[in-house]
Amino acid sequence: MIETIAPDQVLLDRAANTGPLPPAVRAGLADPMARISVTTVTRDGGRRLDCYAVAGAGKQLAAVTPDAKGEAAVSFPVEGVLAEALIVETLGLDQPLAQIDHRSEFDIAALWALAALADAHRQAELESLLARTPTRQVALSEDSIYLRALDGAALPDPRWLSGMLTQVFGPGDVTEARLLEGLAALARAGLIARGPTGLWSPQPTFITAFAHLELPLAAAVLAIDRRRAGGFDSATRLFLRSFAAIWVIEPRGPVGAPTAVRLGSVGAADARTFVHDAIALALKQPAAPPPAQKAAEARRFCRQCGHPATAADRFCGECGAELA
């Protein structure tokens, strides 16, 4: 459970341009209302941008941009469109990318097995291409798949799917036992099949759905935390740009330690709309509490005859006596 979303105060103190921050904003960063974090991964590096909403600043945000040296730049004011633009630019969401009709839900072991299998399949295809030895169908040994999983954990090259996921999630649980669990889950889903020789072969469903995933180009993680009574509401989405499609991975389970994921493709326009709406919702001002109900006015009665009277009455409407 998230206990705080405040930026590191020591980091803020070291930032060169923290001084111009208005005192109210500087104080508000100790307990921000919301945090919008964008992390990008590309072939030539990546960026991290954290935008904080503080009480009293409206839709103006304070942006903290960490660097590789442990320092940070702080800017105020910025708009939520800054985070949106970073995702759009990284993924190329202004391009006409269509949706691939596929949805899956995997546990984490199956996701890492899928990545290792995709990398092993791609490497086998490249080796066949270089050797000029075409094959009808690539069959993969468990050893070759496991080696690609180890490569992804030890050498997180974002040009390979397992390396890209390592950059985003951190190293997975790369053991042979977990790999076999993941491969078995993919087989139950009809994505791969094991032949009589013990080799694994991608099935048509795998080729149709995940062929583009073998060539990842960039990724962007959008993480939003919004304060509520007693804690924070958190949501995270990973957007993965392949050669001709956008994939969305939704972690399921505890924050920071997902146990499963939902994986599906979306069109570029839908992805852009989702990002825009999610950021707008995070910055939406909380609804004002309903006005307190006025306490019921104490009823008045005439002391002479007991007839009821209103607060505005000066004389009794029944006997005409002056009301106290």
Q: Is pLDDT of 162 > 70?
A: yes
- From residue 284, alpha-carbon distances to 58, 60, 177 in Å are 9, 12, 46
**According to the model, what pLDDT value does residue 103 have?**
86
| Cα 264-269-274 angle, rounded to 5 deg | 65
More confident residue, 306 or 51: 51
Distance from chain centroid for Cα 310: 59
Mean pLDDT of 137-147: 91
Percent of the chain at pLDDT above 90? Answer: 41
Other beta carbons less than 10 A from residue 229's beta carbon:
5
Mean pLDDT of 109-131: 92
Percent of the chain at pLDDT above 70? Answer: 86
Closest by Cα among 110, 119, 114, 112 to 160:
119
Q: What is the pLDDT of residues 247-261, one digit of tens each?
A: 999 998 877 778 889
Say how far apart CA 64 and CA 74 lie, in whole Å. Answer: 5
Closest by Cα among 172, 167, 125, 157 to 144:
125
Say how far apart CA 164 and CA 241 lie, in whole Å. Answer: 11
Mean pLDDT estimate for the chain:
84
Q: Is pLDDT of 11 > 70?
A: no
At residue 290 the predicted structure's pLDDT band, cuts being 50, 70 and 90, is low
Token pair recorded at residue 25: 């904003």
**According to the model, what pLDDT value does residue 289 have?**
58
Q: What is the pLDDT of residues 80-97, one digit of tens each?
A: 899 999 999 999 999 988
Q: What is the pLDDT of residues 38-68, one digit of tens each?
A: 999 998 888 889 998 887 667 788 888 877 7
Closest by Cα among 224, 195, 306 to 51:
224
Reported pTM: 0.81
**According to the model, what pLDDT value does residue 295 have?**
46
**According to the model, what pLDDT value does residue 71 have?**
72
More confident residue, 145 or 229: 145
The three-state secondary structure class of 273 is helix
The answer to whether 287 touches 279, Cβ cutoff 8 Å, is no
Token pair recorded at residue 45: 């590096």
- From residue 198, alpha-carbon distances to 113, 139, 143 in Å are 16, 9, 11
- Containing 117, the helix (H) or strand (E) segment is helix 108-131
More confident residue, 71 or 228: 228
Mean pLDDT of 272-279: 93
More confident residue, 273 or 63: 273
Hey, which of 105-109, 137-141, 298-302, 320-324 has the most confident mean pLDDT?
105-109
At residue 118 the predicted structure's pLDDT band, cuts being 50, 70 and 90, is very high
Closest by Cα among 266, 211, 225 to 7:
225
- From residue 150, alpha-carbon distances to 59, 157, 174 in Å are 45, 12, 7
The answer to whether 193 touches 137, Cβ cutoff 8 Å, is no
Q: Is pLDDT of 294 > 60?
A: no
Say how far apart CA 114 and CA 211 lie, in whole Å. Answer: 11
